[in-house]
Homo-oligomer: A and B are copies of this chain.
Amino acid sequence: MPAFSSQPSDPIAVFDSGLGGLTVVRALLRRLPRERLIYFGDTARVPYGSKSPRTVLQFARQCLHFLTQFNPKLMVVACNTVSATALQSLHQDFTVPIIGVLEPGAAAAVAAARIPAGQPRRIGLIATEATIASQAYNQAVTRLDATIQVIGRACPLLVPMIEEGRLQESPIVRSVLQEYLHPFKSLQVPVLILGCTHYPIFSQAIEATLGSSTTLIDSADQTALVVAEKLATMHIANDAGTPLADGLTCYVTDQGQRFESLAGRFLGRLITQPVWVEPERLENLTVEK
């Protein structure tokens, strides 16, 4: 039983540095249609992926602390950079259970790898600079199977291309992917982890570049599964009644049209206007424990 008290009717809080976490929200809505979701995107200070672990941890702490006001039964860190660099510290800061996207993604990758005997035991990873530098995927994979090596590559242009609204059919997207994915093609990795919640938007182009012998791992579905299992184990799943028509409320730190205009691409449907939270409100929060 959990050390804190919560009810099935309490919401699930989902945090990301910006918009990418909405791919995780999409998977959660599909798997858990009766749950209320509170999404928080730190769009004033995005991106986190090119920043230092110290800065990422401090920003993430402030955002999760903001989310505790909604009394969530569970918090999902739907950002690979935060999951890779700050999750251990965040577990110590909050009593609410926190699930990141990294462990579910690593588990799915190891399960999907099925490397034949005699073949090199390597899987691929594309992610932000901060996630690659953290070596956190390597460690998570090693814990599951110490014989598998993770080959990682930072891909700093993918997020800006997606946020620019560029389609995966664009020749520039294809050229950039050719360059970034070249090592994985040469190594013939059986599995490539999409280690940033933005990347599934380009999954068809990534597949076209690598060929069908490489399986892509999008941690969104796997994270939603882990969340469902955790709620069931804790007896706080909201699985009675009819699915909610719109169980999602969004909060963002940057004011403007950008979130609404881009969110549909990640969520697969239009989004209700997000609520704006002044960054200064976060900055004056202190952590609960």
Contact = CB atoms under 8 A, between A and B. Distances in A.
Interface string A131-165: 00000000000000000000000001100110110
A92 interface: no
Given A43-B51, A175-B175, 11 more contacts: A44-B51, A45-B45, A50-B163, A51-B256, A52-B258, A55-B255, A58-B278, A59-B279, A156-B163, A279-B283, A283-B283
A284 interface: yes
B160 A254 contact: no
Size category of the A interface is 20 to 34
A280 interface: yes
Contact of A157 (B50, B164, B258, B278): B164
Contacts of A255: 52, 54-55
A175 B171 contact: yes
18 contacts: A43-B51, A44-B45, A44-B59, A45-B45, A51-B258, A52-B255, A52-B256, A55-B253, A55-B255, A55-B256, A55-B279, A157-B172, A160-B160, A172-B172, A172-B176, A172-B179, A175-B175, A284-B284
Contact of A51 (B58, B157, B179, B254): B254
Interface in A39-70: 43-45, 50-52, 54-55, 58-59
Contacts of A54: 255-256
5 closest A-B pairs by CB? A283-B283, A52-B256, A160-B160, A156-B164, A52-B255
A198 to B, nearest CB: 13
Interface in A91-112: none
Contacts of A164: 156-157
Interface in A115-143: none
A157 B179 CA distance: 16
A50 B162 CA distance: 13
Contacts of A258: 50-52
A254 B55 contact: yes
**Which interface residue of A52, A156, A283 has the most chain B CB atoms within 10 A?**
A52
A163 B154 CA distance: 13
A101 to B, nearest CB: 23
Contacts of A58: 278-280
Nearest to A45: B45
Contacts of A52: 254-256, 258
A222 to B, nearest CB: 28
A278 B54 CA distance: 10
A156 to B, nearest CB: 5
